[in-house]
Amino acid sequence: MGCDIHSFAEVRENSRWRMVGPKFPLDDFGQKWEKRTHTEHPFDWRSYGMFSFLANVRNYSHIPVIADPYHSLPPDVSDEVKEEYGEGGDYHTATWLTLRQLKEFNYDQAFWNRRVSKQVGPHQWSGAALAEEGEGEHLTIRQLLGEDFFRDLAILETLGGLDDVRVIFWFDN
């Protein structure tokens, strides 16, 4: 079973948070996108490396996590995002990050990407196996996250100040 992210940008205006949208303003950047062609929400493609970095979800790579997840929505979440969350039958690991947290993180730090594919039985492979010494690869967090992550981050910067923009997200299985 796969895991997906549900993510929403919010901007603080007059001491209240409002959801950006209904669509995230990707079109203004007019660039080719590696992972998607739609313009719904920030960081809205399936990437277990990114999920690991953002909230320690499916951390097969053993990537450092930007911040421990809150496991809840923020208390001052916008009504629109609260409605999107709804009952959330299969939702988990709800959390948020401010633009400041996303901008001030050192993405150039290297780590040992321990996610590898291994044969686990006759005609069976696991894409989430753990690398032994000498396997896997050393990368920077920037390399693992890829260009689309940083394009979305650049778009978030256009929406407001470091403490007045945040991304709220959760996952489903």
Cβ neighbourhood burial of 55 (10 Å; 0-12, 13-18, 19+): buried
Which of 145, 158, 144 shows the shortest CA–CA distance to 9? 158
- Compute the distance between CA of residue 109 and CA of residue 3 in angstroms, rounded to an integer: 26
Report whether pLDDT(38) > 50: no
Phi, psi of 167 (to 5 degrees): -120, 125
62-95 confidence digits (pLDDT tens): 899 999 999 999 999 999 999 989 866 789 999 9
Give pTM, 2 decimals.
0.84
